A = this chain, B = another copy of it.
Amino acid sequence: MSETAVSETVPVEAGAYRAAMARLASAVHLVTTDGPGGRAGFTASAVCSVTDAPPTLLVCVNRGSSAHAALSRNDSLCVNTLSAEQQPVAEAFAGGVPMAERFAAARWREEAGSAPVLAGALVAFRCRIASRASVGTHDVLFCEVTGLVGPDEADALVYADRGYHPLPRRRPPTAKSRPLRALKAV
Protein backbone atom coordinates (compact mmCIF):
# COMPACT_ATOMS: atom_id res chain seq x y z
CA MET A 1 0.00 0.00 0.00
CA SER A 2 1.25 3.47 -0.77
CA GLU A 3 2.03 5.80 2.09
CA THR A 4 -1.01 7.91 1.34
CA ALA A 5 -2.41 9.14 4.62
CA VAL A 6 -5.88 8.15 5.67
CA SER A 7 -8.05 11.06 4.62
CA GLU A 8 -10.81 11.79 7.10
CA THR A 9 -12.09 14.85 5.27
CA VAL A 10 -15.85 14.60 4.91
CA PRO A 11 -16.91 14.48 2.18
CA VAL A 12 -14.12 12.82 0.19
CA GLU A 13 -13.52 14.76 -3.03
CA ALA A 14 -15.46 13.23 -5.97
CA GLY A 15 -12.42 13.03 -8.28
CA ALA A 16 -10.36 11.19 -5.67
CA TYR A 17 -13.25 8.78 -5.13
CA ARG A 18 -13.55 8.09 -8.89
CA ALA A 19 -9.79 7.52 -9.16
CA ALA A 20 -9.93 5.01 -6.31
CA MET A 21 -12.98 3.26 -7.81
CA ALA A 22 -11.20 3.05 -11.17
CA ARG A 23 -8.84 0.46 -9.66
CA LEU A 24 -11.75 -1.96 -9.00
CA ALA A 25 -12.16 -4.62 -11.66
CA SER A 26 -15.68 -5.52 -12.75
CA ALA A 27 -17.62 -7.39 -15.37
CA VAL A 28 -19.07 -5.26 -18.17
CA HIS A 29 -22.80 -5.34 -18.86
CA LEU A 30 -25.29 -3.94 -21.34
CA VAL A 31 -28.46 -3.10 -19.50
CA THR A 32 -31.38 -3.01 -21.95
CA THR A 33 -35.05 -2.20 -21.53
CA ASP A 34 -38.21 -1.91 -23.61
CA GLY A 35 -41.85 -1.21 -22.87
CA PRO A 36 -44.11 1.85 -22.46
CA GLY A 37 -41.06 4.09 -21.85
CA GLY A 38 -39.39 2.99 -25.07
CA ARG A 39 -36.28 1.02 -25.89
CA ALA A 40 -32.97 2.01 -24.31
CA GLY A 41 -29.66 0.53 -23.26
CA PHE A 42 -26.37 1.51 -21.65
CA THR A 43 -23.02 0.03 -20.66
CA ALA A 44 -22.82 -0.56 -16.93
CA SER A 45 -20.38 -1.86 -14.36
CA ALA A 46 -22.46 -1.05 -11.27
CA VAL A 47 -24.38 -4.32 -11.20
CA CYS A 48 -24.21 -6.91 -8.45
CA SER A 49 -25.97 -9.94 -7.07
CA VAL A 50 -28.05 -9.37 -3.94
CA THR A 51 -29.59 -12.74 -3.05
CA ASP A 52 -30.57 -16.08 -4.60
CA ALA A 53 -33.82 -16.27 -2.59
CA PRO A 54 -35.48 -15.05 -4.69
CA PRO A 55 -32.78 -14.55 -7.36
CA THR A 56 -32.26 -10.79 -7.28
CA LEU A 57 -29.61 -8.42 -8.63
CA LEU A 58 -29.27 -4.67 -8.52
CA VAL A 59 -28.39 -2.08 -11.15
CA CYS A 60 -27.34 1.52 -10.43
CA VAL A 61 -28.42 4.11 -13.02
CA ASN A 62 -27.74 7.84 -13.16
CA ARG A 63 -31.02 9.76 -13.14
CA GLY A 64 -29.43 12.17 -15.65
CA SER A 65 -28.62 9.44 -18.19
CA SER A 66 -30.38 8.98 -21.52
CA ALA A 67 -31.65 5.54 -20.48
CA HIS A 68 -33.19 6.67 -17.22
CA ALA A 69 -36.41 8.05 -18.72
CA ALA A 70 -37.21 4.69 -20.31
CA LEU A 71 -36.26 2.74 -17.19
CA SER A 72 -38.46 4.94 -15.02
CA ARG A 73 -41.54 3.88 -17.04
CA ASN A 74 -40.66 0.26 -17.91
CA ASP A 75 -41.00 -2.59 -15.46
CA SER A 76 -38.46 -4.94 -17.01
CA LEU A 77 -34.82 -4.92 -18.07
CA CYS A 78 -32.15 -7.35 -19.20
CA VAL A 79 -28.59 -7.46 -17.85
CA ASN A 80 -26.42 -8.80 -20.69
CA THR A 81 -22.93 -9.63 -19.41
CA LEU A 82 -20.33 -9.20 -22.16
CA SER A 83 -17.82 -11.68 -23.49
CA ALA A 84 -14.22 -10.71 -24.30
CA GLU A 85 -14.95 -10.20 -28.01
CA GLN A 86 -17.79 -7.75 -27.33
CA GLN A 87 -15.70 -4.70 -26.43
CA PRO A 88 -17.01 -2.82 -29.52
CA VAL A 89 -20.57 -3.30 -28.24
CA ALA A 90 -19.54 -1.95 -24.84
CA GLU A 91 -18.08 1.11 -26.54
CA ALA A 92 -21.18 1.68 -28.70
CA PHE A 93 -23.38 1.75 -25.58
CA ALA A 94 -21.03 3.77 -23.38
CA GLY A 95 -22.53 7.16 -24.12
CA GLY A 96 -22.91 9.91 -26.67
CA VAL A 97 -24.44 7.67 -29.34
CA PRO A 98 -28.19 7.86 -30.23
CA MET A 99 -30.18 4.82 -29.07
CA ALA A 100 -31.01 3.62 -32.62
CA GLU A 101 -27.31 3.59 -33.54
CA ARG A 102 -26.41 1.75 -30.33
CA PHE A 103 -28.83 -1.06 -31.06
CA ALA A 104 -27.66 -1.25 -34.70
CA ALA A 105 -24.17 -2.13 -33.40
CA ALA A 106 -25.14 -5.61 -32.17
CA ARG A 107 -27.40 -8.59 -32.87
CA TRP A 108 -30.45 -9.21 -30.69
CA ARG A 109 -32.94 -11.84 -29.78
CA GLU A 110 -35.93 -9.56 -29.96
CA GLU A 111 -39.27 -10.26 -28.36
CA ALA A 112 -41.90 -7.62 -28.85
CA GLY A 113 -42.12 -5.27 -25.89
CA SER A 114 -39.56 -7.05 -23.73
CA ALA A 115 -35.98 -6.04 -22.96
CA PRO A 116 -33.64 -7.01 -25.84
CA VAL A 117 -31.37 -10.02 -25.18
CA LEU A 118 -27.89 -9.61 -26.72
CA ALA A 119 -26.71 -12.44 -28.97
CA GLY A 120 -23.29 -13.75 -27.95
CA ALA A 121 -23.43 -12.49 -24.38
CA LEU A 122 -21.64 -14.46 -21.68
CA VAL A 123 -24.93 -14.68 -19.82
CA ALA A 124 -28.17 -12.68 -19.83
CA PHE A 125 -30.47 -12.09 -16.87
CA ARG A 126 -34.04 -11.15 -17.77
CA CYS A 127 -35.48 -9.19 -14.89
CA ARG A 128 -38.58 -7.56 -13.45
CA ILE A 129 -37.83 -4.33 -11.58
CA ALA A 130 -39.17 -5.13 -8.10
CA SER A 131 -38.27 -1.91 -6.26
CA ARG A 132 -36.24 1.26 -6.56
CA ALA A 133 -34.21 3.43 -4.19
CA SER A 134 -32.81 6.91 -4.82
CA VAL A 135 -29.27 7.55 -3.55
CA GLY A 136 -27.67 10.88 -4.45
CA THR A 137 -27.63 11.26 -8.24
CA HIS A 138 -28.55 7.62 -8.91
CA ASP A 139 -31.44 5.17 -8.70
CA VAL A 140 -30.73 1.66 -7.46
CA LEU A 141 -33.03 -0.82 -9.23
CA PHE A 142 -33.64 -4.10 -7.38
CA CYS A 143 -34.47 -6.68 -10.04
CA GLU A 144 -35.95 -10.16 -9.69
CA VAL A 145 -34.48 -12.52 -12.26
CA THR A 146 -37.28 -14.11 -14.31
CA GLY A 147 -35.19 -15.81 -16.99
CA LEU A 148 -31.62 -16.79 -17.84
CA VAL A 149 -29.89 -17.17 -21.20
CA GLY A 150 -26.61 -19.06 -20.99
CA PRO A 151 -24.13 -19.06 -19.37
CA ASP A 152 -21.79 -19.35 -22.34
CA GLU A 153 -18.25 -20.80 -22.25
CA ALA A 154 -16.64 -17.72 -23.85
CA ASP A 155 -13.91 -15.67 -22.18
CA ALA A 156 -15.16 -12.74 -20.09
CA LEU A 157 -14.65 -9.00 -20.58
CA VAL A 158 -13.36 -7.07 -17.56
CA TYR A 159 -13.17 -3.30 -17.03
CA ALA A 160 -10.40 -1.99 -14.76
CA ASP A 161 -7.98 0.96 -14.71
CA ARG A 162 -10.29 2.70 -17.22
CA GLY A 163 -9.71 0.07 -19.90
CA TYR A 164 -10.99 -3.29 -21.11
CA HIS A 165 -9.26 -6.63 -20.47
CA PRO A 166 -10.07 -10.14 -21.65
CA LEU A 167 -10.28 -12.70 -18.84
CA PRO A 168 -9.71 -16.27 -20.06
CA ARG A 169 -12.30 -18.82 -18.98
CA ARG A 170 -11.17 -20.87 -16.00
CA ARG A 171 -11.77 -24.55 -16.64
CA PRO A 172 -13.00 -26.72 -13.78
CA PRO A 173 -10.06 -28.25 -11.86
CA THR A 174 -9.01 -31.75 -12.83
CA ALA A 175 -8.79 -34.51 -10.24
CA LYS A 176 -5.01 -33.98 -10.02
CA SER A 177 -5.08 -30.24 -9.36
CA ARG A 178 -5.80 -28.86 -5.92
CA PRO A 179 -9.18 -27.12 -5.98
CA LEU A 180 -9.24 -23.51 -4.88
CA ARG A 181 -11.39 -22.68 -1.97
CA ALA A 182 -14.52 -21.04 -3.29
CA LEU A 183 -15.41 -17.51 -2.26
CA LYS A 184 -18.29 -18.16 0.07
CA ALA A 185 -21.37 -16.07 -0.39
CA VAL A 186 -21.93 -14.23 2.89
**Which A residues form the contact surface with B (CB < 8 A)?**
1-2, 4, 6-12, 14, 16-28, 42-58, 60-62, 65, 67, 81, 90-91, 94-96, 109, 117, 119-126, 131, 133, 135-138, 140, 142, 144-153, 156, 158-165, 167, 169-170, 180-186
Chain B residues within an 8 Å CB radius of A150: 1-2, 4, 20, 23
A168 to chain B, nearest CB (A): 8
Chain B residues within an 8 Å CB radius of A181: 91, 94
A-B contact pairs, 15 of them (CB 8 A): A1-B149, A8-B126, A11-B146, A14-B52, A18-B185, A20-B150, A23-B150, A24-B81, A25-B156, A51-B60, A67-B186, A96-B184, A164-B180, A164-B183, A167-B167
Determine chain A's interface SS by DSSP, over half rule. Answer: mixed
Q: Is the CB of A11 within 8 A of B160?
A: no
Q: Is the CB of B53 within 8 A of A49?
A: no
